[in-house]
Structure 1
């Protein structure tokens, strides 16, 4: 069976890619939605290549007997079979989205942008914002567009060393490999948990000004919460940055 190793590996990998893209939203744990068509094409190509490799190997074997049985024969080196493990894991047990552990390892890095006026927020309260949108306005908006507005955001819980807790969201440009962290400190008895780490919440509240705009003292921004409701993890757990 070793001679069919390359074909099996291609089929497993292609099947895993198609499984997470065609039959659900699992691919959103790893990449942005815009990359889905490319993943589908890649998975299909791997499956086709695997079938072609298997048929070619079978034809070669039927035409030339059993071969020599060395460790580096038609099937390649035995160590190549180790590559089936990540493919099987993705096919059978897809890893979860990144969570509080990854957020805790990420440094407090903000986009390099200057202080300036932001567009007006939509009318009505509460205003639905991503954590990235809220953070940018809280830290850099000279027009103070968040003042007097009620906002609502969704993220997962992370904890600080001093008893504080944060609403957190991982932000990606392309895929989970380039994820950065956006977080908002939550204050107010209305949002008291205690909420375990990685609990997904929708939190409503008002901006609490902190520090001088555009400085490290303004990070992380603060929300005085009036309510916090536990929710399911969104199909797409990441924000686009």
Structure 2
């Protein structure tokens, strides 16, 4: 099953792709207006779901005793492609194997050799495993870039982040990050309902606070930094959007 991510998760993935080692939870938390504990909890969830599969160093092998980095474009039988990819990964000198959705040239193998004799040895071992090397090239340089669609949008920073998900029948589920000066901040859900901030037809499904995921009831108080999931059976009422965003934004009539 696909793992659904929201805007907070996207921003986390963006920063991890930019610099996983140098990215601190408080930095992301400040950008998306949640607590650092929420960011750490989200990272753990992304890891457990297999979205974040690991953290790897980007190494310039050429700077180490003049080693060579080469890429082999190989063809493998489709029915044994994955098995061969695993076997190739055990060959000394292989640092990366990519499986491609293609009938031919369906494996990309990146290798590091101490010299040309060593890379020739790796090529022979690949051939012995049963793959055909169609092309080989020395990797001159390699750069990695974050996925821009997960990055921050241009323009002034927003005080609240919300993520819409449409469900069957026109209903919507929205995740709000509660602003410090939002109308609902400091109120219990029962109070918010009495004052009209939470219409009768909507349901607060969960509240994520730091490392905890709360099951809300009428006595639950909404706090700044909470990530609140709200279900609406119809199109989201504008008054609900205003309740979770800061007073200035609501007064100006501008929303994200």
Same fold, TM exceeding 0.5? no
The TM-score with structure 2 as length reference comes to 0.30
The TM-score with structure 1 as length reference comes to 0.31
As a proportion of its length, which structure holds more helix?
A: 1
